[in-house]
Amino acid sequence: MNSPAPSETELAQSVRAMYNEHPFPNYYSHLPSQSDERFRYIFTKFLHLPLEAFQGKIIFDAGCGTGENTWAWQRILGSSAEIIGLDQSEGSIRIAHGNYPEQTMRPDFVIGSLLDLGLADNSVDAIYCSGVLVAVTEPWHAYQELVRVLKPGGYIVLIMYHRYGRALHGMRRAVVDLLEKKDINRRAQLGGKLFGRSMKKLSAQAHSPYEGVLYDQFGLPCESRYTVGQVCKWYRKANIHYIGSWPPVEWSQFGKALRFSYHLSGQRNAPLKRLLIRIFPDMDKYSTRVPSVFSRASMQLLWAFGQQQLFAVSGRKE
């Protein structure tokens, strides 16, 4: 395995120190959007994961942060599955350990780097990696590490920043980049001074501490953004078969996604959504073939208009 360049090592150390001091997301309360029921529905209906087959398996939450998703996996799958959460931040892992003290089933939280997982080849059955490859110094290297430890026949879910849905925030970051390239503390301070109103709104929506939001959104000097097509290309290179996405990039799944988001938001006074629900049927039919370029492009155009910043793509290792 090649060692990262000295400058990248220094950057990785700075990022680790940042998340030690400002763990993220560190929710102070949980929204319906973070409910186990919502996760289960997305996992099964859009990412098409066979959760019933995960009993007795090893599930790896790569870059677990403060562990909220790791705990959700544990509650959904129960005691027969072994859930491992890994993060480079000791501060985040401490919070993850302390979450949900009333729970008797507990994930195994460990400290480590996505660039060198320290796990054996073909050793885990499913990988969940949410919003982490977008923030590491060498995303392709980290992805190859994930593929290395995933068993043949195992499942992977990558959650990435969308290139176009996150374009507005990309412009905010570009302004901060012009003023400060490297100093993480100054970058976060500049983000607060220039875009504090938007970040306070995001903090309230996410139920995450404002300071942590500033560091996560602006402190990182490195950030990468992707399209579904790019993730699918990564999958092809690693012999991983595409299964599904959230939000869906298949028009056949659009009606189902509309109904789900409409029910979740509780926006009964949204006339456009009601009209679209009447137009697009609720269909369970789906394909595990990579959607066409037209389907991907048109659906991602909607994401861009809606400023959909995150998307998930699931696959299975051949």
Residue 139 located in a structural domain = yes
Residues 183 and 61 in one domain: no
Residue 240 located in a structural domain = yes
Residue 5 pLDDT greater than 50, yes or no? no
Residue 295 located in a structural domain = no
How many domains, in total, are found in the chain? 3
Q: pLDDT tens digits for 189-233?
A: 999 999 999 999 999 988 999 999 999 999 998 899 999 999 999
Residues 37 and 156 in one domain: yes
Residue 55 located in a structural domain = yes
Q: pLDDT tens digits for 236-267?
A: 999 999 999 999 999 888 888 887 876 665 55
In which domain, by residue range, is 101 found? Answer: 23-161+225-246
Confirm if 244 and 48 have CB atoms less than 8 A apart: yes
Residues 154 and 190 in one domain: no
Confirm if 23 and 95 have CB atoms less than 8 A apart: yes
Residue 4 pLDDT greater than 60, yes or no? no
The CA distance from 185 to 271, in Å, is 44
Residue 211 located in a structural domain = yes
Residue 282 pLDDT greater than 80, yes or no? no
Residues 135 and 182 in one domain: no
Residues 193 and 130 in one domain: no
Residues 214 and 229 in one domain: no
Residues 146 and 49 in one domain: yes
Check residue 268 and give its pLDDT: 54
pLDDT band per the 50, 70, 90 thresholds, residue 9: confident
Residues 87 and 236 in one domain: yes
Residues 188 and 63 in one domain: no
Residue 152 located in a structural domain = yes
pTM score:
0.91
Residues 121 and 93 in one domain: yes
Residue 6 located in a structural domain = no
Q: pLDDT tens digits for 137-186?
A: 899 999 999 999 999 999 999 999 999 999 999 999 999 999 999 999 99
Residues 154 and 276 in one domain: no
Q: pLDDT tens digits for 17-76?
A: 999 999 999 988 766 556 899 999 999 999 999 999 999 999 999 999 999 999 999 999
Q: What is the CATH number of the domain that holds 30?
A: 3.40.50.150
Please name which of 210, 184, 223 lies closest in space to residue 26, comparing C-alpha atoms: 210
Q: What φ, ψ does residue 130 adopt, rounded to 5°?
A: -105, 110
pLDDT band per the 50, 70, 90 thresholds, residue 294: very high
Residues 236 and 114 in one domain: yes
